[in-house]
Amino acid sequence: MTNLLTEEMAVSLKGRDFIGLADYSPAEVRYLIDLAIDLKRKQKAGEVFHPLKGKTLGMIFEKSSTRTRVSFEVGMYQLGGHALFLSRNDLQIGRGEPISDTAQVMSRYVDGIMIRTFAHRTVIELARAATIPVINGLTDLSHPCQALCDYQTVLEHKGRLEGLKVAYIGDGNNMVHSLMMGAAKLGMHISVATPEGYEPDAEIIRQAKENAAETGSRIVVCRDPKEAIADADVVYTDVWASMGFEAEQKERELAFANFQVNEELARYAKSDYLFMHCLPAHRGEEVSEGVIDGKHSIIFDQAENRLHAQKAIMAAIM
C-alpha cells in the first residue's frame, strides 16, 4: 500500500476536514486519487484492508441521497468501521439545536462526521465546533467528493490528467464549482458554458483561476456550448434544476433549451471524448439518451468510484 505508507503525506492529512478541494494542495489531491485507485484494486482483488477497524462515521443527511449514502456506508464497512445514518428528523437539529452543540456531542461519540446539506455555512459551523474530521458530502456551494471520484475516473480511462480539457455544459452549480477547483489543482483545463444568469459563483471562479496559475491550468467561462466543448477530452453536464431549485424547473427549461448535450453538440468534442454526469440524470433534458447511454458514457464508472474515492478520504483523514 505504497500511498498509504507515504509518511509525510499521511501525517499532513490525518485529522483534517474535507470541506473543499481548495483546502488541499495539488499533491494532496493527487495523493487521494492515487489512494482511491489503490483501494479499488485491493477491493477488486478481495484483499482485506481495515485501517478504520473499531471506528464510526456519523452521517448527517438533510438532503436525500442514493450514491452518497450507499457509498459512504459500504465504504466504512469495507474499511473495517461502522456508519450511522442520521436524518434531520433523527437529530435535535431538526428541533432547533445549534449545529455547534450537535458537533461537540457527536465528537464525543464518533470518529468522523459526513454531512449532506443545503447551506455551506452549516458544514463550516459543524467543522469549527467539532474535534473530529468533517466531510462535506454535498452543499449548495460544492460537491468535492464527486469531483474527486470524477477525476479518478478520468485518470483510469485516459491514463493522465495534466493537460486534458473538460467541457462543462449547463448550470453553474455546486458541481461545476468543485470541478473547476479540481481541474485547477490537477493541471487540467476546463471550459464552462452556461446561460446568462446561471454562471458559477464569481468568487469560486476567482479562487479556481488563482489556483490554476500554480499548475498551468486554464479556466474559461463562456455562453456558447460549442465554444466550450471544442476539442474537449471530457464532456460533463448536470441537471438543470438541482435539489432545492425544483420550483424553477419550467423557467430553467427555457433558459437551458440550447444547452442540451446531444449527438450534434458532441461532434465538436474529440472523437474519443468521455461523457460524464454525476447523476441522477434527466434523459432528454440536459442530455440525450444517445449520449448518456452511448459508447462514450462512463457514468456508472463514475458512480462506482464514489465508493473508492470516499474510502480514500476516510482512510486518510480518519
Q: How confident is the model at residue 89 (pLDDT cuts 50, 70, 90)?
A: confident
CB 178 within 8 A of CB 142: yes
pLDDT at 132 over 60: yes
Residue 149's alpha-carbon distances to 46, 124, 169, 235, in angstroms, are 21, 22, 19, 15
Residue 113's alpha-carbon distances to 57, 131, 132, 284, in angstroms, are 6, 10, 7, 37
Q: Check the annotation: does 222 bind a ligand.
A: no
Q: Check the annotation: does 88 bind a ligand.
A: no
Q: Do domains 3-142+306-317 and 146-302 have the same CATH topology?
A: yes
Mean pLDDT of the chain: 96
CA distance 44 to 35: 14
Cis bond leading into 26, ω under 30°? no
**How confident is the model over 214-263, as pLDDT tens digits?**
999 999 999 999 999 999 999 999 999 887 788 899 999 999 999 999 99
The yes-or-no answer on residue 69 being catalytic is: no
Q: Check the annotation: does 116 bind a ligand.
A: yes
The domain segmentation of the chain, as residue ranges, is 3-142+306-317, 146-302
Place of cell 438543470: 240
Q: Check the annotation: does 145 bind a ligand.
A: yes
- Give me the pLDDT at residue 2, please: 47
SS3 of 124-185: the string is HHHHHHCCCCEEEEECCCCCHHHHHHHHHHHHHHHCCCCCCEEEEECCCCHHHHHHHHHHHH
The yes-or-no answer on residue 252 being catalytic is: no
43, 78, 146, 207: the active-site residue: 146
Q: Check the annotation: does 65 bind a ligand.
A: yes
The yes-or-no answer on residue 267 being catalytic is: no
30, 120, 143, 277: the active-site residue: 143
**How confident is the model over 31-45, as pLDDT tens digits?**
999 999 999 999 999
CB 54 within 8 A of CB 318: no
The yes-or-no answer on residue 149 being catalytic is: no
- Give me the pLDDT at residue 229, please: 98
Helix (H, G, I), strand (E, B) or coil at 238: coil
**How confident is the model over 2-56, as pLDDT tens digits?**
445 477 888 899 999 999 999 999 999 999 999 999 999 999 999 999 999 999 9
Q: What percent of the chain has pLDDT over 70?
A: 98
The yes-or-no answer on residue 116 being catalytic is: yes
- The CATH code for residues 3-142+306-317 is 3.40.50.1370
The yes-or-no answer on residue 206 being catalytic is: no
CB 137 within 8 A of CB 68: yes
Phi, psi at residue 19, to the nearest 5°? Answer: -100, -35
What CATH superfamily classification does 146-302 receive?
A: Aspartate/ornithine carbamoyltransferase (3.40.50.1370)
CA distance 251 to 260: 15
- Give me the pLDDT at residue 5, please: 46
